[in-house]
Amino acid sequence: MRRRDIASFDGIVCFGGVDWWYHNRGHYEIQMMRELSERLPVLFVNSIGMRVPAVREGALFRRRIARKLRSLRRGLVTVRPSFAVLTAAALPGSAGALARRNALPLQVRRAARRLNIEKPLVWVAVPTVADALDRLPAAGLVYQRTDRFESFVAADSARIAALDMKMKRRADLTLFCSRLLYEEERSACRAAAFVDHGVDYEVFAAAGEGLVPEPPEAAALPRPRAGFVGSMEEHTFDAELLRSVAERLPRVHFVLVGEWTLADGRCRLPNVSTLGKRPYEQVASYMAACDVLIMPWNRSPWIQACNPVKLKEYLAVGRPIVTSPFRELDTYPGLVRVASGEDDFVAQLEQALGDPGNPLPRRERVRRETWTAKAERVLAELAERGIEPRGG
């Protein structure tokens, strides 16, 4: 990446870890770009992924390929003033490395010029674009290390780990959301900062306070309700744990809101409703429609180093929370019920329903953790390193 002597940027090119058109817009990079686009133009490049979907995945493979083709047909779209989304023609994996080095920068430069971006801050949320950065003139480079990317299911772990290390050594600033990863890896970075997730506090608190009506399909379900809102994926969600807990608590209705990418049939129980994916704007109302909010995670390396966005959203809503353990919970003492194993999850869930506690301490913990505050923190970290938006 050619830095020359320029340390000011006139826009941002963000290589996202998700697809704007198909993923929840609560993700870290999308929220950060939403905030920063209030100051200068942003080009969000949809994720090229960390692996090529496998044919053996059957219906899921077909759905992902079809989704990517639909996204490609959209090309470059201005979704609001100063914010455009590009789906580039690029493949993940080692087979697509040459194309990423040559074709991807060309597509991105062309799109950036349409937004009058000549010297961007380049923001990378997935390390597989490392191949493309040499041909992108930039004022600075931010690497977003939000997860253990190398632990992603079916990805080439060694290759992803090598790209991750390359990004940490190269980036002007590596952002960590997980204290565990920050503590373990900051010494490997050229520069590092811990800036974790924010929350749209007013939106989620209002829903929890009953100022937003319940979605009709949720309101029609019996109570008490235990809800999970988010993607249900193999590397994060423990479907077997959920099924076992639901079988043992037939009086509780389990509400699952989000995209299901696991094998069908794991949770086909009369007290489990899978409502599918909902727009980000409706997420808070679905959380608030539940009596307790849950996170039945698996014990993967990915989860142990995670800091899920939904944790602060759950807290802002104010409902009691029951979750499988992960390191980041150490910073929320007394606010979250942590369950180790099936028996404990059942017991903690029953206790949360019987004694939901006071929602105010949960909300107060995240009241000031807004996405606006997080974006300001990132700009301050960059300014300390001599990288600032053009015009201040």
Query: 48-62, 294-308, 312-326 — which one is most confidently predicted on average?
Result: 312-326
Residue 155: CATH number of its domain:
3.40.50.2000
Residue 228 CB neighbours (<10 A) = 22
Confidence band, pLDDT 50/70/90 cuts, at residue 138:
very high
Domain assignment present for 2: no
Domain assignment present for 1: no
Residue 89: is its pLDDT beyond 90?
no
**Nearest-CA neighbor of 236 among 313, 159, 311?**
311
More confidently predicted of 67 and 318: 318
- What is the pLDDT, as a whole number, of residue 65? 59
Confidence band, pLDDT 50/70/90 cuts, at residue 62:
low
- What is the pLDDT, as a whole number, of residue 59? 60
pLDDT in tens, 273-283: 999 989 999 99
183 and 230 inside one domain: no
255 and 186 inside one domain: no
Confidence band, pLDDT 50/70/90 cuts, at residue 4:
very low
Write out the residue range of the structural domain in which residue 173 sits.
8-198+370-389
Joined tokens for residue 82: 């100063």
380 and 360 inside one domain: no
Confidence band, pLDDT 50/70/90 cuts, at residue 242:
very high
pLDDT in tens, 95-137: 556 666 778 889 999 999 999 999 999 999 999 888 889 888 8
Distances in Å between the alpha carbon of 111 and those of 31, 87, 209? 21, 10, 43
- What is the pLDDT, as a whole number, of residue 137? 86
260 and 147 inside one domain: no
Domain assignment present for 169: yes
Q: Please give the average per-residue pLDDT across 2-19, as a whole number.
A: 80
Chain position carrying tokens 């679905």: 286
Residue 121, classed as helix, strand or coil, is strand
Domain assignment present for 251: yes
Confidence band, pLDDT 50/70/90 cuts, at residue 260:
confident
Confidence band, pLDDT 50/70/90 cuts, at residue 366:
very high
283 and 375 inside one domain: no
Characterize 255-280 residue by residue with b for buried, 16 or more Cβ atoms within 10 angstroms of its Cβ, and e for exposed: bbbbebeeeeeebeeebbbebeebee
182 and 284 inside one domain: no
76 and 96 inside one domain: yes
320 and 374 inside one domain: no
299 and 378 inside one domain: no
216 and 193 inside one domain: no
Share of the chain above pLDDT 70, in %: 87
What pTM did the predictor assign?
Answer: 0.88
174 and 148 inside one domain: yes
326 and 345 inside one domain: yes
pLDDT in tens, 187-202: 999 999 999 999 999 9
Q: Please give the average per-residue pLDDT across 165-187, as a whole number.
A: 96
Show the 3-state SS of 318-353: CCCEEECCCHHHHHCCCCCEECCCHHHHHHHHHHHH
